[in-house]
Amino acid sequence: MYAIHPYYPPDVFSIHSPLLIFFFNKPTLHAQEHVDLSKTHPELFKYLPYGPFETPGEFASVYENSVTSVRGNVLFAILDKTGGDGSPRYAGVAGLLNTSVANQCTEIGFITIFPEFQRTHVTANAVGLLLHYCLELPSSINGKYGPGLGLRRVQWQTHEENAASVRAAERMGFRREGLIRWQRILLEGKYGMTVPPEREALCKNLGRHSWMLAVCWDDWELGGTREFVQEQMERNK
């Protein structure tokens, strides 16, 4: 177990809704299943800065380097509770990244929903549950899924050309704030933009522009986003 960020209560290791379970720090328990699904659906990783994964060790390495070793990051295994036999099914992963106590903000990222669970209740309920958890106040007695972290901002970044990710965020109430140019350097083999030879000599990896979207506390409490998100979650049961 690594040192959990102070905004993640140490005695809370799962978040529940009627349809989903999120487990803190448990994705490596599903590493083999994640790898098998990655190999079957490599197209899911075209715009993502990681994957697809060839071995459980490779997935664990990315998880360790990108999540557990970075204070403020946490990854969830998403389990769907609606299976016919009553056993939760592994649907993918989602994370909270770059959480800042000082700035009271976090980012939903590292999200992968496998095709069997796309266009179902899973994505809407996964993102919605995280929004409830991040934006509801710790003292809230009216929160549908219990008290939250009381953050002021939850953001979402995605590759400029990943239209599906932008649509998924906007369907859950995120507002597009702008395009951050040359926001990151990509791993070798990833889809991105080139630079002139003299700059490539310094770093050969491609780069990307990223869309920035966000939901803030005033959107949530005063702008109707809480109700809109709940409608989306209930519509996708």
Domains by residue range for the chain, with CATH: 14-152+220-235 (3.40.630.30)
pTM: 0.91
Under the banding of pLDDT at 50, 70 and 90, the label for residue 163 is very high
What pLDDT, on the 0 to 100 scale, is given for residue 222? 97
What pLDDT, on the 0 to 100 scale, is given for residue 171? 97
Which comes out higher in pLDDT, residue 236 or 108?
108
In the chain, % of residues over pLDDT 70: 91
Residue 67 DSSP one-character state: I
| Residues 95-98: contacts with CB under 8 Å, at least 24 apart | 95/67, 96/8, 96/130, 96/134, 97/67, 97/70, 97/72, 97/73, 98/72, 98/73
Q: At what angle do helices 121-135 and 163-171 cross, to 10 degrees?
A: 60
| 9-23, 40-54, 223-237: least confidently modelled range | 9-23
Under the banding of pLDDT at 50, 70 and 90, the label for residue 65 is confident
Number of residues in the chain:
237
| Residues 8-17: contacts with CB under 8 Å, at least 24 apart | 8/74, 8/96, 8/99, 8/149, 15/76, 15/129, 15/130, 15/133, 15/145, 16/145, 17/125, 17/129, 17/145, 17/233
What pLDDT, on the 0 to 100 scale, is given for residue 4? 45
pLDDT tens digits, one per residue of 177-234:
999 999 999 999 999 999 999 999 999 999 999 999 999 999 999 999 999 999 999 9
- Return mean pLDDT, the chain: 88
For the segment 157-184, the average pLDDT, to the nearest whole number, is 97
Position 49, amino acid: P
The label of the residue with tokens 């008290």 reads 147
For the segment 167-171, the average pLDDT, to the nearest whole number, is 97
Q: Per-residue pLDDT for 13 more than 80?
A: no
What pLDDT, on the 0 to 100 scale, is given for residue 144? 79
Q: Is 237 strand, coil or helix?
A: coil
Q: In Å, how far are 52, 120, 138, 196, 205 from 48, measured between CA atoms? A: 9, 21, 32, 24, 15
What pLDDT, on the 0 to 100 scale, is given for residue 236? 62
